[in-house]
C-alpha cells in the first residue's frame, strides 16, 4: 500500500460545492480536492441562469421573501431553519463571489445585474422579482472558473482525474477515501480527519436528462453502501424546458426574459395552470402542465413536445398582454440583439443541435431530468446526519447537489442550487477544517482498498453474457417512463422489478479492458453499478410516498397530504434492499398552505 | 444511415505504435460524433477510451481532431461533416491512450498567466460589490467564455513549433483579467505574456479562432494584448 | 527549459486549417523565399564575375520570375493586411473577410504580372 | 466606476525586445510600402511611363539605384545617382534587411528549440544583417 496520502481535509468533487469547501478549508487546514474530472469540467459549469440572492439591486427585495418563496417552492418539505439561513447568507455569498472576481453582468449604475426566475416573487404584490444574479447564461461556468482560479491562487492540492470509489468509516467516524488514479490505474488511500463529499447528482439514471455523463451519483452510492441513509430520494426535479430528445437545458432565464410556452395548437397554456406568474411558475408546476398538454393531445404534431417561443415579437406581444414593464414603468421590450447578448449560449445550442435560430423560430422542448433534490442528509453546517434525530457523524461532511440539507424540499427553485453550493460548500469547508484542527487522525482499516479491489475483480470476472450499455439504456428508459414526471403504483412496481432484474444482469457484465491506463470501461461499469442501486432506492422511496408533492406527482395520490406525509424520507441501503424510515420537517415561520402560482 | 468511423487507437500497454480502426455503424444526421463514439464503446470495443462529460459543449472534455481539424466531439453533428468521419487526438500533446492526451502542459501554461483575480485594495466601505459599468464589463466578456478545452492551442502552428509558447488559451485568460477594470495585476500579466514565448509568437494564423467551440474571437483578443504592450492602453 | 517541437512540420501542414492558415504558410514561404533570393542576388552582384552572372541569369529567367513574383506580391499584400489588422485589432474580428478581400486584390495584380512576364518571355 | 488607471506606464506594459521587434515588423512593412511607392513614382516621373515590365517596376521599387535600373527604358539614369536617391535606397536596404533578417530569426525560432541554438541564431543573424547592410550601402554609394 504505497499510495497513502494524509490530509486534514479531503474534499471529494471539484464542482462549485467542492471548490468552495476546498477554498475555505485550505485557509486553515491541509486540504486536498479529489475529482474524477478536471475541476473545470464539473457540471456546475453547465448551470446557466443565475444565482439567487435578495440583493435588491434593481428593485426592492428581501431575504424573507426569498425564504418564503423557497419554502413555498419546496412544497413545504424544506427545513425552514436551513432555508432561512441560506437566504440570509445569500447576498453576502454573492458579493463574496464578486470580490473573488466573478464577472457578473452589470446594471447601468455598475451593480450586479439581476433577472427574474421561476418562483421568485415580490411577496407583497405576488409579481415576479429580479433576484437571479447572472453572468450572461453561463453563471455556473463563471462560478466554477472563479472558484477554481481562487483555489489555484490559494495553492489547494488538487488530485485531478482521481475517481473516489470508497469511503472509509471506522468506529462511526469517517477516516478517508479510496480513489483510483485514472492515468495509471493505481489505487490511492487518502487518510483524512474530515471528508467532504461534493460529487453532484445522478440525473444519468434517466433517459432524457440535462445532466452530464459524469452525473452518476458516485458519492451518494459510496456513502449509501457504507450505511449512511439517504434523504428524500424520491424527489427529482424535471426541468420543463430541455431540448426535445437531447435533454440539453434551455434555462429558465429564457422565460425570465419573457419567453412563453406554446402548445401544439399555438396557444399559450400556462395561464390555465398558474394564473398569476404564468410561464414563471415553479418548475414542477410547469413540467406537469407540459405533460398534461401532451397527454391531452396538444403536443406538437401529436408528439411529446411543445414550443418555447422567445422570438422578440412574441415576447413583446405577451409582455404587453401581461402588463410587464421595465423598472421605470415603460412597456417591456426586447430586440433580437439584446436576446443574443443576454442568452448567447442558448442561441448557440439551438443553432448547433437543432439548426434553428431562436430569434426567428420557436424551440421544441420537453421536460428533462435535471436535479437531485435528495441525497446525503446534512445539517446547515454541512455535517452529515445519520438518523431521524440528526446525529452528526464525526468527520463526514457533504455539500452541493449530492447533499440534502434540506433547502430544496420537494422542488428546488431555479438559482437556488448555485446558492446552495456556495453557502453550504463554504460552511462545510469551514466546519471540516475546524473539526480537523482539533481532532486526531483516526485509524485506517487494515486493508483499506480491499472492498474496491474486490468490486473490480467482480467486474473483470463476469461471464460477459450481458452488455453494460444495454443495461444502462434499459434502466434509463424505465426510470424516465415510470418514475418520471408522473408516477403511479403500477408503473413504479414495474420499474423496481426491472431495476432488480437489471442488477442481476449486471453481475454478468464483463469488462473487456484489462489495462490500467485510463480504463474507462471499468469505471463506466462501476458507475453503472452505482446508478442501478440509486435507481432502485429512488423508485422504492417514490413508491413509498403516497401523496403528490413538488417534483413527486402521483396519479393515484394526486394531492399533497400534510397529515401523513409532511416528513422527510430516510432510506438505508442494506444487503441490497431499501429500508425506509422518516424524519420530521423543521417548520419555523411558514405553516403549510395550498401552493398556487 | 451508415456511418464509417475511423478512429485513432493506441494502447501503450499492448501496442508499440498507434494504428487506425474502422467501424461502420448506423446513425442519424443529428447524431453528435460523441454519440457515435459512445456507441462504438458500448457495442464494438469497450476498450476505446476518450474523455467526455457534459455532452453539450460546455465542459471542454472532448476536444478531438475530427476530419483533420479540431472540434468538440459533442458539438459537431453528422450533418455538419458527413458520414465518413476520422477521429484523432488533438495535436501536440502526449498521447496517453487512444483519444486521451496529457493535458498537464496545457494547464501549466494556463497557470503561468496568473489566472486568478487580483485586487488587494480594500473592499468598498459598504461591503458591497466593486462597481463596474456594463461597458467595462463588455470589454473582457468574450474571454470569460473559455472552457479550457485546448481546441485552440493545439491547432496553433506556433504551439506546434515549440512547447514554450503560452498558446492562445492562456492568452485569452490573460486578456480576461488584464482588461477587467477591477483587477490590479495587469502589469505583471502583461510582462508575462509578452515574454519570448508569449505574444510575439502569435502570427495571426487564425486556426485558434476557427477551432474555438465557444466562438471566442481569440485572434482579436491576442491582437488587443499586442497593441496594449505598445500603447499601454487597457480599456 | 526543455524545449521541444510539439508537432512535426508535415503533420502540422496536414491540419485542415482554412484560408487564414494558408495565408500564414504562404506568407512565411514568401518571406523566406524573398530573403533567400535577395541575399543571393546581392551577393551574386557583389561578387560578380561568372558566379554572379550564373545566379543573375537564373533570376532573369521568366519561370523563376513567376515564382518570385508570387512570393513578393503575396508577402507584400498579405503583409499589408496583417499590418492593418494588427494595428487596429478590432478589425481582427473580420479576419476571414479580410482574407477574401486580399485574394480579390492579389489575384488580378498577380494575374497581370504573370501575363506580362509570359508575353514578354514569348515576345522576347 | 473606474478604479484603476486606464493606461500602463511605459516600463510596465511588457514592452520588451520581442514586442519592439513585433511593432518594428509592422512599421517597417508600412515604411517599405511608402519607400517603394515613392521610388516607383520617382521612376515614373523620370520618364518610365511606358514601362510595362513588372520585373523592372519591382527593381525600381526595391532598389532605386542607378546600377539597378540599368536595364529599364528610363532615358536618363543620372538622377538616380543623386545623394537623395542614394539615401532613399539606403533607407530601404536598411529597413528591408532588418525586417527580413528578423523574420528569418522568427522562423528559425520555430524550428530551433534549444535555447543555445536560439542564441547562436541570434548572433549569426546580427552579423549577417550588418554584412548585408554593409554590402548594400557600399554598392549604393560606390556605383
Ligand atoms: C444544465 C444545467 C443548468 C443549471 N442551471 C442552474 C442555474 O441556473 N441555477 C442554479 O442554481 N442551478 C442550476 N443548475 C444546478 C446546479 O448547476 C448543480 O446542481 C450544481 O452545479 C451541482 O454542483 P456540485 O458542486 O454539487 O456538483 P458538480 O459541479 O457536478 O461537481 C461534481 C464534482 O464531483 C466530482 N466527482 C463525481 N464523482 C466523483 C468520484 N467518484 N470521485 C471523484 N470525484 C467525483 C466531479 O468530477 C465534479 O468535480 C443547473 C444544472 C444543470 C445540469
Ligand atoms: C512591402 C513589403 C513587405 C511587407 C508589407 C511585409 C510585411 C510583413 C509582415 C507584416 C510580417 C509579419 C508577419 C507575422 O509576424 O505574422 C512579415 C514577416 C516577414 N517578412 Fe515581410 N514584408 C515585406 C517585405 C519583406 C521583404 C523584402 C522580406 C525579405 C527580405 C521580408 C521577409 C519577411 C520574413 C522572412 C518574415 C517572417 C515570416 C514569418 O514570421 O512567417 N518581408 N512581413
Ligand atoms: S479559447 Fe476557445 S478553443 Fe481555446 S480553450 Fe478556450 S474555449 Fe477552448
Ligand atoms: S492559431 Fe496561433 S498564431 Fe495566433 S492567431 Fe491563433 S494563436
Ligand atoms: S463533453 Fe463537455 S464539451 Fe464535449
pLDDT digits (tens, 9 = 90+) for B120-177: 999 998 989 999 999 999 999 999 999 999 999 999 999 998 878 899 999 999 999 9
CB contact under 8 A, D6 and B186: no
| Burial tier of A484 (Cβ tally within 10 Å: 0-12, 13-18, 19+) | buried
pLDDT in tens, C19-55: 899 999 999 999 999 999 888 888 887 777 788 788 8
User: According to the model, what pLDDT value does residue D54 have?
Assistant: 67
**Residue bearing the bigger pLDDT, A210 or C2:** A210
Q: State yes or no: is A298 an active-site residue.
A: no
A375, A401 in Cβ contact below 8 A? yes
The answer to whether B125 faces chain D, any CB pair under 8 Å, is no
Triad B41, B45, B49: Cα angle to 5°: 55
Q: What is the pTM of this model?
A: 0.94
User: According to the model, what pLDDT value does residue D69 have?
Assistant: 59
pLDDT in tens, C58-104: 877 888 888 888 998 999 999 999 999 999 998 998 888 899 999 99
pLDDT at D82 exceeding the cut of 90: no
How far is residue D16's CA from residue D9's CA, in Å, rounded to a whole number?
A: 13
Ligand 2 atom, smallest distance to C34 CA: 29
Write the DSSP string, B53-116.
SSSSSSS---EEEETTEEEEGGG-BHHHH-SEEEEEPPTTS-EEETTEE--HHHHHHHHHT--S
Q: Which helix (H) or strand (E) holds A556?
A: none
**Residue bearing the bigger pLDDT, B8 or D110:** B8
Quickly list H helices, chain C.
9-14, 19-47, 49-60, 62-87, 95-123
How far is residue A258's CA from residue A252's CA, in Å, rounded to a whole number?
A: 10
Residue minimizing CA distance to atom 2 of ligand 3? B212
- Domain residue spans in chain B? 2-101, 104-231
A592, A562 in Cβ contact below 8 A? yes
The catalytic position among A115, A255, A268, A283 is: A283
For residue A498, the SS3 value is: helix
pLDDT in tens, A478-505: 999 999 999 999 999 999 999 999 999 9
Among B181, B230, B232, whose Cβ lies nearest the Cβ of D3?
B181
Residue minimizing CA distance to atom 7 of ligand 3? B146
Residue minimizing CA distance to atom 31 of ligand 1? A15
Compare all CA atoms of chain B with the CA of A113 and give the residue at the minimum distance: B134
- Whether B104-231 and B2-101 are alike in CATH topology: the answer is no
Instruction: Give contacts of C36 with chain D, Cβ < 8 Å.
Output: none
Residue minimizing CA distance to atom 15 of ligand 2? B203
The CATH-assigned architecture of domain B104-231 is Orthogonal Bundle (1.10)
Given the cut 0.85, state whether the ipTM is greater than it: yes
How far is residue A537's CA from residue A234's CA, in Å, rounded to a whole number?
A: 8
Instruction: Determine which of A38-52, B68-82, D57-71 has the lowest per-residue pLDDT on average.
Output: D57-71
Residue minimizing CA distance to atom 29 of ligand 1? A15
Q: Which of the four pLDDT bands, split at 50, 70 and 90, describes residue A86?
A: very high
CA of D24 to the centre of ligand 4 (A): 19
**Residues lining ligand 5, Cβ inside 6 A:** B 52-55, 57-62, 72, 74
Nearest to A196 by CA among A441, A438, A425, A442: A425
Average pLDDT of the residues of chain B = 93
Mean pLDDT over residues A435-443, rounded? 95
- Closest ligand to the CA of A133: 1
Q: Which three cell numbers stand for residue C59?
A: 533570376
The answer to whether C17 faces chain B, any CB pair under 8 Å, is yes
Among A142, A212, A469, whose Cβ lies nearest the Cβ of B53?
A212
Domains and CATH numbers, chain C: 19-121 (1.20.1300)
CA of B143 to the centre of ligand 3 (A): 9
pLDDT in tens, A135-169: 988 999 999 999 999 999 999 999 999 999 999 99
| Burial tier of D140 (Cβ tally within 10 Å: 0-12, 13-18, 19+) | buried
pLDDT at D5 exceeding the cut of 60: no
Q: What percent of chain A has pLDDT over 70?
A: 100
The residue whose CB lies within 8 Å of the most ligand 1 atoms, and thus the one to mutate among A41, A44, A178, A531, is: A44
Mean pLDDT over residues A16-26, rounded? 97
pLDDT at D67 exceeding the cut of 70: no
| Protein fold of B2-101 | Ubiquitin-like (UB roll) (3.10.20)
User: According to the model, what pLDDT value does residue C1 have?
Assistant: 39
User: According to the model, what pLDDT value does residue B204 have?
Assistant: 92
User: According to the model, what pLDDT value does residue B37 have?
Assistant: 96
Mean pLDDT over residues A346-365, rounded? 93
pLDDT at A512 exceeding the cut of 50: yes
- Closest ligand to the CA of B62: 5
Q: Which of the four pLDDT bands, split at 50, 70 and 90, describes residue D72?
A: low
CB contact under 8 A, B196 and D4: no
pLDDT at D60 exceeding the cut of 60: yes
Average pLDDT of the residues of chain A = 94
The answer to whether D130 faces chain C, any CB pair under 8 Å, is no
A48, A137 in Cβ contact below 8 A? yes
Mean pLDDT over residues A587-596, rounded? 91
Q: Which residues contact A402 (CB under 8 A, 6 or more apart)?
A: A13, A197, A198, A199, A200, A201, A217, A219, A220, A372, A375, A376
Mean pLDDT over residues D21-25, rounded? 93
CB contact under 8 A, D6 and B182: no
> What are the CB-based long-range contacts (under 8 Å, 24+) for A577-580?
A578/A536, A578/A537, A578/A540, A578/A541, A580/A540, A580/A541, A580/A544
The distance of B68 to chain A (nearest Cα, Å) reads 20
**Residue bearing the bigger pLDDT, A277 or A175:** A175
CB contact under 8 A, A520 and B49: yes
Question: Mutating which of A149, A200, A203, A250 best tests the B interface, going by the most B Cβ atoms within 10 A?
Answer: A149
pLDDT at B178 exceeding the cut of 60: yes
For cell 420537453, what's the residue? A366
Select, from the ranges A212-226, D64-78, D79-93, the one with the highest average predicted confidence (pLDDT): A212-226
How far is residue C98's CA from residue C111's CA, in Å, rounded to a whole number?
A: 20
A390-A393-A397-A399 Cα dihedral, nearest 10 degrees = -30
pLDDT at D14 exceeding the cut of 90: no
Average pLDDT of the residues of chain D = 81
Average pLDDT of the residues of chain C = 86
Question: Mutating which of C5, C26, C83, C92 best tests the B interface, going by the most B Cβ atoms within 10 A?
Answer: C92
Asked if residue B161 has its Cβ within 6 Å of ligand 4, the reply is no
First and final CA of chain C: distance in angstroms? 58
Asked if residue C29 has its Cβ within 6 Å of ligand 2, the reply is no
CB contact under 8 A, B162 and C5: yes
Instruction: Determine which of A224-233, A271-280, B120-129, D6-15 has the lowest per-residue pLDDT on average.
Output: D6-15
CB pairs under 8 A between B and C: 88
**Residue bearing the bigger pLDDT, D1 or A584:** A584
Q: Which of the four pLDDT bands, split at 50, 70 and 90, describes residue B197?
A: confident
Write the DSSP string, A328-392.
TSSBP---HHHHHHH-HHHHHHIIIII---TTTSPEEEEEEEEEE--BEEB-TTSEEE-STT-PE
pLDDT at A131 exceeding the cut of 50: yes
Mean pLDDT over residues C106-119, rounded? 86
Instruction: Give contacts of B182 with chain A, Cβ < 8 Å.
Output: 101
Asked if residue B208 has its Cβ within 6 Å of ligand 4, the reply is yes
Mean pLDDT over residues A409-416, rounded? 94
pLDDT in tens, A531-583: 999 999 999 999 999 999 999 999 999 999 999 999 999 999 999 999 999 99
CB contact under 8 A, C83 and D111: no
For cell 431530468, what's the residue? A369
Amino acid at each position: 500500500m504505497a499510495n497513502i496520502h494524509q490530509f486534514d481535509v479531503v474534499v471529494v468533487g471539484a464542482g462549485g460545492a467542492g471548490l468552495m469547501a476546498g477554498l475555505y478549508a485550505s485557509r486553515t487546514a491541509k486540504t486536498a480536492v479529489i475529482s474524477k474530472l478536471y475541476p473545470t469540467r464539473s457540471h456546475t459549469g453547465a448551470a446557466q441562469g443565475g444565482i439567487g440572492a435578495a440583493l435588491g439591486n434593481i428593485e426592492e427585495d428581501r431575504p424573507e421573501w426569498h425564504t418564503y418563496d423557497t419554502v413555498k417552492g419546496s412544497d413545504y418539505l424544506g427545513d425552514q431553519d436551513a432555508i432561512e439561513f441560506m437566504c440570509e447568507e445569500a447576498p453576502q455569498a454573492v458579493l463574496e463571489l464578486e470580490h473573488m472576481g466573478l464577472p457578473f453582468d452589470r446594471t447601468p449604475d455598475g451593480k450586479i445585474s439581476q433577472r427574474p426566475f421561476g418562483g421568485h416573487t415580490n411577496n407583497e404584490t405576488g409579481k415576479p422579482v429580479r433576484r437571479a444574479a447572472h453572468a450572461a447564461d453561463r453563471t455556473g461556468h463563471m462560478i466554477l472558473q472563479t472558484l477554481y482560479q481562487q483555489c489555484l491562487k490559494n495553492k489547494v492540492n488538487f488530485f485531478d482525474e482521481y475517481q473516489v470509489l470508497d469511503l472509509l468509516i471506522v468506529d462511526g467516524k469517517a477516516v478517508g477515501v479510496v480513489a483510483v488514479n485514472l492515468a495509471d490505474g493505481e489505487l490511492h488511500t487518502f487518510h483524512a480527519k474530515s471528508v467532504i463529499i461534493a460529487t453532484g447528482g445522478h440525473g444519468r439514471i434517466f433517459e432524457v436528462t440535462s445532466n452530464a455523463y459524469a452525473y452518476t451519483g458516485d458519492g451518494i452510492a459510496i456513502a449509501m453502501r457504507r450505511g449512511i441513509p439517504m434523504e428524500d430520494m424520491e424527489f427529482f426535479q424535471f426541468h420543463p424546458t430541455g431540448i426535445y430528445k437531447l435533454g440539453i437545458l434551455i434555462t429558465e432565464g429564457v422565460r425570465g426574459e419573457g419567453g412563453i410556452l406554446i402548445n401544439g395548437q399555438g396557444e399559450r397554456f400556462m395561464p390555465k395552470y398558474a394564473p398569476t406568474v404564468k410561464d414563471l411558475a415553479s418548475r414542477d408546476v410547469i413540467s406537469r402542465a407540459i405533460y398534461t398538454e401532451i397527454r391531452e393531445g396538444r403536443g406538437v404534431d401529436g408528439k411529446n413536445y411543445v414550443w418555447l417561443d422567445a422570438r422578440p415579437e412574441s415576447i413583446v406581444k405577451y409582455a404587453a398582454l401581461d402588463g410587464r414593464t421595465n423598472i421605470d414603468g415603460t412597456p417591456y421590450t426586447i430586440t433580437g440583439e439584446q436576446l443574443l447578448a443576454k442568452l448567447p449560449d442558448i442561441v448557440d445550442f439551438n443553432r448547433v443541435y437543432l439548426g434553428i435560430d431562436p430569434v426567428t423560430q420557436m424551440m421544441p422542448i420537453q421536460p428533462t431530468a435535471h436535479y437531485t433534490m435528495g441525497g446525503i442528509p446534512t445539517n446547515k453546517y454541512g455535517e452529515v446526519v445519520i438518523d431521524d434525530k440528526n446525529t452528526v457523524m464525526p468527520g463526514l461532511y457533504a455539500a452541493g447537489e449530492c447533499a440534502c440539507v434540506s433547502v430544496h424540499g420537494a422542488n428546488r427553485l431555479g438559482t437556488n442550487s448555485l446558492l446552495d453550493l456556495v453557502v453550504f460548500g463554504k460552511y462545510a469547508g469551514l466546519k471540516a477544517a475546524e473539526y480537523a484542527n482539533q481532532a486526531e487522525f483516526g485509524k485506517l482499516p487494515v486493508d483499506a482498498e480491499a472492498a474496491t479491489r474486490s468490486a473490480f475483480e467482480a467486474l473483470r470476472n463476469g461471464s460477459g453474457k450481458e452488455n453494460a450499455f444495454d443495461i444502462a439504456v434499459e434502466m434509463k428508459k424505465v426510470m424516465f417512463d415510470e418514475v418520471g414526471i408522473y408516477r403511479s403504483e403500477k408503473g413504479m412496481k414495474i420499474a423496481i422489478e426491472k431495476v432488480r432484474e437489471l442488477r442481476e444482469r449486471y453481475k454478468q457484465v464483463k469488462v473487456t479492458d484489462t489495462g490500467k491506463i485510463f480504463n474507462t470501461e471499468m469505471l463506466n461499469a462501476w458507475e453503472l453499478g452505482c446508478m442501478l442501486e440509486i435507481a432502485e432506492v429512488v423508485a422504492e422511496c417514490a413508491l413509498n410516498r403516497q401523496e403528490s408533492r413538488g417534483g413527486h406527482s402521483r396519479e393515484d395520490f394526486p394531492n399533497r397530504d400534510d397529515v401523513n406525509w409532511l416528513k422527510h424520507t430516510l432510506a438505508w441501503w442494506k444487503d441490497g434492499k431499501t429500508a425506509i424510515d422518516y424524519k420530521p420537517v423543521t417548520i419555523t415561520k411558514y405553516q403549510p398552505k395550498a401552493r398556487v402560482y | 444511415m451508415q456511418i464509417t468511423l475511423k478512429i485513432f487507437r493506441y494502447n501503450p500497454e499492448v501496442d508499440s505504435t498507434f494504428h487506425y480502426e474502422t467501424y461502420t455503424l448506423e446513425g442519424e444526421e443529428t447524431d453528435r460524433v460523441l454519440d457515435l463514439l459512445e456507441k462504438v464503446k458500448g457495442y464494438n470495443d469497450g476498450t476505446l477510451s476518450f474523455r467526455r462529460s457534459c455532452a453539450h459543449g460546455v465542459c471542454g472534455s472532448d476536444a478531438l481532431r475530427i476530419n483533420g481539424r479540431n472540434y468538440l466531439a459533442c458539438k459537431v453533428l453528422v450533418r455538419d461533416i458527413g458520414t465518413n468521419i476520422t477521429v484523432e487526438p488533438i495535436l501536440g500533446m502526449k498521447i496517453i491512450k487512444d483519444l486521451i492526451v496529457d493535458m498537464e502542459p496545457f494547464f501549466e501554461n494556463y497557470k503561468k498567466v496568473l489566472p486568478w483575480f487580483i485586487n488587494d485594495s480594500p473592499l468598498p466601505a459598504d461591503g458591497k460589490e466593486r462597481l463596474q459599468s456594463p461597458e467595462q464589463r463588455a470589454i473582457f466578456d468574450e474571454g470569460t467564455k473559455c472552457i479550457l478545452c485546448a481546441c485552440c492551442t493545439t491547432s496553433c502552428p506556433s504551439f506546434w513549433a515549440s512547447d514554450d509558447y503560452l498558446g492562445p488559451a492562456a492568452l485569452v485568460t490573460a486578456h480576461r483579467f488584464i482588461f477587467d477594470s477591477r483587477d490590479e495585476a495587469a502589469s505583471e500579466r502583461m510582462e508575462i505574456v509578452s515574454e519570448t514565448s508569449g505574444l510575439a509568437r502569435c502570427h495571426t494564423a487564425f486556426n485558434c479562432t476557427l477551432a474555438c467551440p465557444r466562438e471566442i474571437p481569440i485572434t482579436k483578443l491576442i491582437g488587443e494584448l499586442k497593441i496594449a504592450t505598445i500603447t499601454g492602453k487597457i480599456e | 527549459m526543455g524545449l521541444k517541437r510539439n508537432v512535426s512540420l508535415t503533420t502540422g501542414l496536414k491540419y485542415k486549417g482554412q484560408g487564414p492558415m494558408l495565408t500564414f504558410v504562404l506568407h512565411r514561404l514568401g518571406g523566406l523565399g524573398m530573403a533567400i533570393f535577395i541575399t543571393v542576388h546581392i551577393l551574386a552582384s557583389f561578387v560578380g564575375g561568372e558566379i554572379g552572372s550564373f545566379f543573375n541569369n537564373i533570376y532573369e529567367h521568366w519561370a523563376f520570375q513567376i515564382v518570385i513574383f508570387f512570393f513578393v506580391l503575396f508577402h507584400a499584400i498579405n503583409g499589408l493586411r496583417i499590418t492593418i489588422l494588427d494595428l487596429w485589432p478590432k478589425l481582427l474580428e473580420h479576419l476571414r473577410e479580410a482574407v477574401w478581400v486580399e485574394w480579390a486584390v492579389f489575384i488580378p495584380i498577380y494575374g497581370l504580372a504573370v501575363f506580362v512576364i509570359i508575353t514578354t518571355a514569348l515576345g522576347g | 466606476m473606474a478604479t484603476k488607471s486606464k493606461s500602463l506606464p511605459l516600463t510596465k506594459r511588457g514592452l520588451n525586445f520581442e514586442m519592439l521587434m513585433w511593432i518594428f515588423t509592422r512599421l517597417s512593412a508600412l515604411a517599405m510600402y511608402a519607400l517603394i511607392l515613392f521610388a516607383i513614382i520617382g521612376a515614373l516621373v523620370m520618364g518610365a511611363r511606358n514601362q510595362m515590365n513588372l520585373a523592372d517596376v519591382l527593381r525600381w521599387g526595391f532598389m532605386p539605384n542607378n546600377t539597378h535600373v540599368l536595364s529599364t527604358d528610363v532615358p536618363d539614369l543620372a538622377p538616380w545617382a543623386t545623394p537623395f536617391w542614394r539615401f532613399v535606397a539606403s533607407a530601404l536596404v536598411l529597413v528591408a534587411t532588418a525586417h527580413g533578417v528578423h523574420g528569418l530569426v522568427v522562423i528559425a525560432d520555430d524550428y530551433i528549440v534549444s535555447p543555445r541554438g536560439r542564441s547562436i541564431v541570434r548572433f549569426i543573424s546580427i552579423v549577417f544583417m550588418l554584412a548585408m547592410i554593409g554590402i548594400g550601402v557600399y554598392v549604393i554609394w560606390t556605383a
